[in-house]
Amino acid sequence: MIQIEKTPNPNSLKFMTERTISSIGAEEFQRKDKEKINNSFVKELLSLNGVELILLSQNFITVKKDEKVSWDALKPSVISYLNDYFNKNNGPILDKKLKSAENNKNDDDVIKQIKEVLDSKIRPAVAKDGGDIKFKSYDNGIVKLELQGSCSGCPSSLMTLKQGVQNLLKHYVKEVQSVEAA
């Protein structure tokens, strides 16, 4: 059964299921990159009129739509695609494959601490709102992060980064001076 939850971004909805959607962590896909995508489910979902971006996580998909399209028109199609996939397939939409390891062996201690705080304290909270946060870089006290899913383009995303994420990272990792969007 698919459950739908609103997110802080009015143009994004979170579609949740008990089935595993991604066994490789959260991955974001954008309509503009549709031709480069090999996954047929992702490609078809991005082909729906009005779908701009999707984020696949362990047990939910966040869909971000164009503001010109109504959720009343789009929701049934997304649910139908999900149900159809799970009726025809036993495995996740995104399954284990070669993926660049997020925890690179060359990461220094500060980056490892940053990633640990992101994974344990921040990602779960952001996922509740249908989003994800990806570490991009750390240099001279500045952490660059990318907000994904419903958080991408959300009106409160800058406040989330500055007041929430930055404060937590500065508290747990003394070397962090500021957080910026990548």
Q: Cα 150 vs. chain centroid, distance in angstroms?
A: 7
- For position 107, what pLDDT does the model report? 59
Q: Are 37 and 2 in contact (CB under 8 A)?
A: no
Say how far apart CA 22 and CA 71 lie, in whole Å: 24
User: What amino acid is encoded at 45 in this protein?
Assistant: L
Domains of the chain with bracketed CATH = 3-88 (3.30.1370.70), 109-181 (3.30.300.130)
- For position 99, what pLDDT does the model report? 45
Convert 69-116 into a string of H (helix), E (strand) and C (coil): CCHHHHHHHHHHHHHHHHHHCCCCCECCCCCCCCCCCCCCHHHHHHHH
- For position 85, what pLDDT does the model report? 93
For each of the chain's 182 residues, which pLDDT tens digit applies?
899 999 989 999 999 999 999 998 889 999 999 989 889 999 999 999 999 999 999 999 999 999 999 999 999 999 999 999 999 988 999 987 544 444 444 458 899 999 999 989 888 888 888 888 889 999 999 999 988 888 777 777 777 777 788 889 999 999 999 998 88
Query: Whole-prediction pTM value?
Result: 0.71
- For position 104, what pLDDT does the model report? 47
